[in-house]
Every structure is written in structure tokens, then in C-alpha cells.
Amino acid sequence: MTIELDQPVPAFNAQATSGIKVDSEQLIGQHYVLYFYPKDNTPGCTTEGQDFRACHEDFAAANTRIFGVSRDSLRTHENFRSKQGFPFELISDADESLCQLFDVIKLKQMYGKEYEGIERSTFLVDAQGVLRAEWRKVKVKGHVSEVLAAARAL
């Protein structure tokens, strides 16, 4: 089962940094962003996280929480989050359950080799738990301001 725009996001639980368990049921009442990225400590992923960090207050003012998601371990996430000073939590999706739910695992190529990896994607969920916007095959530059505009419009 994959999610669709303007449909409720199926319930999920996920482990995040700071020892937090992210439960979609407990997020009802506030908007949230799930941004999926390939790997901690890589250039594009670092820039994207820094852009979300720079706009964190603006998202908070729009009643919107931010969560970064990748398959990295919680330990790697904690180090990445600390090093970059991210004021939001990073979800470890080592078993790919969230990645599968949001259909972000895609066949990719690097140096002529094919592999399955996370396609950079962002999802905006409203306070009722309904998917209101999605961005797939994200290019980092200017992306966060698009997401923020959509969050403010909710």
C-alpha cells in the first residue's frame, strides 16, 4: 500500500534521535514534514538539512514539525544532527518501512552500477493526518522555501 495525495497517511511508528518514538497518531493536531534523503554526512543531504534548519522557526510558526528520514542508524543520525545543529529529529528507517510506505526506494545509478536507494522526496501532512503535498526527485536548491510556502498555506 502506498500513500496518495489528499488521503490519510496510514499509521506508523518510527525511532528517531533524542530517544523519541515518532507515532503518527500523536502528530494529529499539527502539520508535519517528512523529508527523505539518501545518506547522512553527504553534500546534498547536509545542504538540505541546513536549509530546513535555517527555516525551522518559520515552520514552527506555521505549526509544522520537521523530520528527516534515511536508512542510517540512530547513532549516525545523532552524530549528523549534533554536528549540523539540527533543531529537528532524524528518523532511522533501517528496515525501510517508511521508505516503502512513501514509495521512495528507487533503482539508482552511480559510477555505472545500479543499486536501490532513497530518492530525495518530501511529504507535507496536515493536522488531520492527510497528505497534502509531495515533492519527488527533489533538487535541493530552493526546495525548502517551496515546502515552507505549502506549509503556510495549510
Boundaries of every domain in the chain = 13-153
pTM of the model: 0.95
pLDDT at residue 115, as a whole number: 78
pLDDT at residue 123, as a whole number: 98
Helix (H) / strand (E) element for 60: namely: helix 56-61
Question: Residue 61 has which C-alpha cell?
Answer: 510558526
Positions marked active-site = 45
The CA-CA-CA angle for residues 80, 116, 17, to 5°, reads 25
pLDDT at residue 42, as a whole number: 94
pLDDT at residue 150, as a whole number: 98
Q: Which class in CATH covers the domain with range 13-153?
A: alpha beta
Q: Which residue has the cell 543499486?
A: 115
Which residue from 36, 63, 48 is spatially nearest to 144, judged by alpha carbons? Answer: 48
Three-state secondary-structure class, residue 134: strand
pLDDT at residue 1, as a whole number: 61
Determine the straight-line distance between the first and last CA of the chain, rounded to whole angstroms. 25
Question: Residue 107 pairs with which residues in a beta bridge?
Answer: 116
Q: Could you say which residues of the chain have pLDDT below 70? A: 1-2
Compute the distance between CA of residue 49 and CA of residue 96 in angstroms, rounded to an integer. Answer: 20
